[in-house]
Amino acid sequence: MLTSFGRAFRTPELRNKILFTLAIMALFRLGSHIPTPGISFDLVAKCQAAAGGSNSLLGLANLFSGGALLQLSIFALGIMPYITASIIIQLLTVVIPRFETLKKEGQSGQAKMTQYTRYLAIALALLQSSTLITAARSPWTILGGSPTTCSTIMTDDSIPTVLLMILTLTAGTGLIMWLGEQVTERGIGNGMSLLILTAVAARVPQSLWAIHNQGWGRFIAVVIMCLAVTTAVVFVENSQRRIPVQYAKRMVGRRSYGGTTTYIPLKVNMANVIPIIFATSLLSLPVMVSQFAANKTNPPGWAQWINTYLARGDHPVYMAIYTVLILFFTFFYVSITYQPDEVADNLKQAGSFIPGVRAGSATAKYLNYVLTRITTVGAIYIAFLALLPLIALALFDANQNVPFGGASILILVGVGLETVKQVDSKLQQHNYEGFLR
């Protein structure tokens, strides 16, 4: 990895792309520390100190924003509205025929789908910013603590200021989307993925330092565990099942075409981090509702049950439900995004086949059989990674200080590997161009 980037910096064109990408990433981090109008960073810091970091209700969204969400900066929403919009559009592709047609139209259709994703992301940003500002009037519901220790974080809660805050947060999401697109066009790698990587990586030094303050023994143990988990994740993320495909020979005139052998790669983790996002979001909804009910003098029984079993990540009931949801959403997402029938039809039209399997429905059944087995392993793998921070919380009371676990490790490794592949690809293109010249 370091060798690839070292060679890239010696190539002027790639060096400019990398420097441009780093500048955008630095700008993204700078926006995470600029306060939203009407929000006091000092009051936010006091509320977080009083809560002791106990509230993990918005933990995943805060992770994707690089800690900006719980600071209510101008980039507080981060890239989450765009991620949510992308997932919704991808799922609607199966339901809405118009989206399915656009998906098959190639680059022009993809551009139209991207435009729809942007519109939906702005709409979600408006909704989420309104919800966040409403919750900020009762800051203990999102930052933790109680009304006595965390009464307010807003310097002005008048209607014009609230509207300005909503507009600022929505504009921040729009700016992040634009920055990501600029990186994709003029930099290295996928811009949106790299901004998520930046947000996640920004919290790693803080987490390691917090563990270091608890003693060198625990710090060394966590570092060794992180290295072991990272090595295992790199191995699994690069693992794939290769299904051989044989192309039939064709005679055109005196020339023979086809007869070559290739393969269909099926990754072990085809769902990536999506099941964790789905499961965390679904579990956070009842907890968020119960937070408002719990402020009453006599909260209802269902609110007490939720606050007892689902508000704490180290509770066995929460872990069990979380695991079941991750397993379910892994199979659900893979079944939506990968269609064995469509792949079988494409193979049949191309005059290719899987050795030992008849073309058509038999090929689709075989692909579905293999995909189910691989997805089972992938689902267990994702669930194990997602449970790592929760297990650490139960054993060491270190949930907020585990830098490599759950969604963070998948993002760091996945985006890192993809970026390195793109750098290697551009280096090979440059070498070929130099050779041809």
Q: Are 157 and 133 in contact (CB under 8 A)?
A: no
Q: Are 41 and 35 in contact (CB under 8 A)?
A: yes
Looking at the fold, whether 249 and 198 belong to one and the same domain comes out as no
Q: What is the 3-state secondary structure (H, E, C) of 290-329?
A: HHHHHCCCCCCHHHHHHHHHCCCCCCHHHHHHHHHHHHHH
If one counts the domains in the chain, the total is 2
Looking at the fold, whether 150 and 233 belong to one and the same domain comes out as no
Residue at a domain's end among 188, 203, 218: 203
Looking at the fold, whether 302 and 155 belong to one and the same domain comes out as no
CATH number of the domain within which 407 lies: 1.10.3370.10
Looking at the fold, whether 176 and 222 belong to one and the same domain comes out as no
Residues 6 or more apart whose CB falls under 8 angstroms from that of 273 comprise: 382, 407, 410, 411, 414
Say how many Å lie between the first and final Cα of the chain, rounded: 28
pLDDT confidence tier of residue 437, bands split at 50, 70 and 90: very low
Looking at the fold, whether 241 and 328 belong to one and the same domain comes out as yes
Looking at the fold, whether 101 and 38 belong to one and the same domain comes out as yes
Looking at the fold, whether 195 and 240 belong to one and the same domain comes out as no
238: containing domain: 210-437
Residue at a domain's end among 203, 224, 259: 203
pLDDT digits (tens, 9 = 90+) for 84-110: 888 888 888 878 888 888 877 777 888
pLDDT digits (tens, 9 = 90+) for 206-246: 777 777 777 787 778 778 888 888 888 888 888 888 888 88
Q: Are 230 and 404 in contact (CB under 8 A)?
A: yes
Higher-confidence residue of 430 and 360: namely 360
Looking at the fold, whether 245 and 263 belong to one and the same domain comes out as yes
Residue at a domain's end among 182, 203, 224: 203
**Which one-letter amino acid corresponds to residue 55?**
N
| pTM: predicted TM-score of the whole model, two decimal places | 0.78
Looking at the fold, whether 230 and 327 belong to one and the same domain comes out as yes
| CA nearest to 319, candidates 393, 255, 423 | 393
Looking at the fold, whether 413 and 433 belong to one and the same domain comes out as yes
For the chain, what's the residue count? 437
In degrees rounded to 5, what are phi and psi of residue 278? -60, -50
pLDDT confidence tier of residue 435, bands split at 50, 70 and 90: very low
pLDDT digits (tens, 9 = 90+) for 360-398: 888 889 999 999 999 999 999 999 888 887 776 666 555
State the pLDDT at residue 434: 45
pLDDT confidence tier of residue 357, bands split at 50, 70 and 90: confident
Looking at the fold, whether 365 and 319 belong to one and the same domain comes out as yes
Looking at the fold, whether 228 and 367 belong to one and the same domain comes out as yes
